[in-house]
């Protein structure tokens, strides 16, 4: 009877992969991969859907989440890079502290638990996020208390933060008046309605735009599944989506051109966004 024995190098690599998988599943940080869809029903009809991935970072795990990787980093330029200065607030202050202060200023309480960021990282030197989400949890790390939607517009390069109350006694689908100009094909007399459950194995974000009469004319949905941050997933996502942020930016201009061709009404920029401590 012959017993096959794996070469020491192969056995070592296998043990290393097992350890990495265990470490990745122990992290709260993860990747999410799936699709985004926009649908517009009035005054012209238009829709888009494409695949994407986003990174979900527990901001207390920045020192370890990409440890050992040259292509991914939270502290130095890399092919995929979390750069603090790409997000709202003083870049000298940790982003989780900036988020907690904003929630306290808007909603009157300060989340005591982790803050987790859903975002497109800076890819191959290009940074652009139509919206990033900061999920603010209670001290138990499981109870979602607030979500900050950090919205960017182009070509004006402005930023605005919506703060959505997600405590158990808050509205299930909260509504906020539009305060920030994003698409020139949607005016300012709009109410945003949000559906923002806590991320899990699946991640769902759904937002609807309502007109002055309460009728829905636009909605956007993000639907993705969770992936652990392993070397294999890092390599696969970087290979499949190397120009993720560039694609997002190009898509915005491409679909704007299609809306213009369909003669969607154009709304001029109304002026600078609010300067109440949440806009830049």
Does the pLDDT value for residue 174 go beyond 90? yes
Query: What pLDDT, in 10s, does the model give residues 198-247?
Result: 999 999 999 999 999 999 999 999 999 999 999 999 999 999 999 999 99
Local confidence band at 258 (pLDDT 50, 70, 90 cut-offs): very high
pLDDT mean over 11-30: 64
Does the pLDDT value for residue 23 go beyond 70? no
Regarding pTM above 0.75, the answer is yes
Rounded percentage of the chain residues whose pLDDT exceeds 90: 85
Rounded percentage of the chain residues whose pLDDT exceeds 70: 88
Question: Taken in order 29, 144, 93, 181, is the CA torsion positive or negative?
Answer: positive
Please give the mean pLDDT across all residues of the chain: 91
Would you list the domain boundaries of the chain? 27-261
More confident residue, 154 or 116: 116
Q: Is 92 exposed, middle or buried (0-12, 13-18, 19+ CB in 10 A)?
A: exposed
Identify the pLDDT of residue 1: 54
Does the pLDDT value for residue 20 go beyond 80? no
Query: What pLDDT, in 10s, does the model give residues 109-146?
Result: 999 999 999 999 999 999 999 999 999 999 999 999 99
Local confidence band at 8 (pLDDT 50, 70, 90 cut-offs): low
More confident residue, 22 or 257: 257
Q: Is 213 exposed, middle or buried (0-12, 13-18, 19+ CB in 10 A)?
A: exposed
Identify the pLDDT of residue 124: 94
């Amino acid at each position: 009877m012959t017993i096959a024995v794996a070469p020491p190098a192969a056995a070592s690599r296998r043990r290393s992969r097992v350890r990495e998988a265990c470490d990745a599943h122990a992290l709260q940080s993860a990747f999410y991969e799936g699709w985004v869809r926009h649908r517009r029903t009035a005054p012209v009809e238009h829709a888009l859907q494409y695949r994407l991935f986003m990174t979900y970072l527990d901001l207390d795990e920045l020192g370890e989440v990409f440890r050992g990787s040259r292509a991914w980093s939270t502290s130095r330029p890399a092919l995929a890079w979390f750069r603090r200065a790409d997000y709202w607030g003083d870049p000298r202050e940790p982003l989780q502290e900036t988020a907690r202060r904003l929630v306290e200023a808007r909603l009157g309480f300060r989340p005591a638990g982790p803050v987790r960021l859903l975002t497109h990282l800076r890819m191959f030197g290009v940074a652009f996020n139509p919206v990033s989400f900061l999920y603010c949890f209670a001290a138990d790390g499981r109870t979602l208390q607030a979500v900050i939607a950090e919205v960017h517009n182009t070509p004006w390069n402005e930023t605005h933060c919506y703060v959505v109350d997600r405590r158990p006694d808050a509205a299930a689908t909260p509504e906020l008046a539009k305060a920030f100009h994003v698409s020139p094909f949607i005016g300012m007399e709009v109410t945003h309605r949000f559906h923002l459950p806590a991320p899990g194995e699946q991640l769902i974000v759904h937002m609807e735009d309502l007109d002055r009469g309460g009728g829905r004319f636009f909605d956007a949905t993000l639907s993705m599944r969770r992936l652990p941050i392993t070397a294999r997933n890092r390599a696969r996502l970087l290979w499949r989506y190397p120009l993720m942020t560039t694609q997002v930016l190009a898509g915005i201009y491409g679909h704007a051109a299609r809306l213009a061709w369909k003669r969607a009404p154009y709304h001029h920029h109304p002026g600078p966004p609010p300067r109440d401590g949440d806009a830049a």
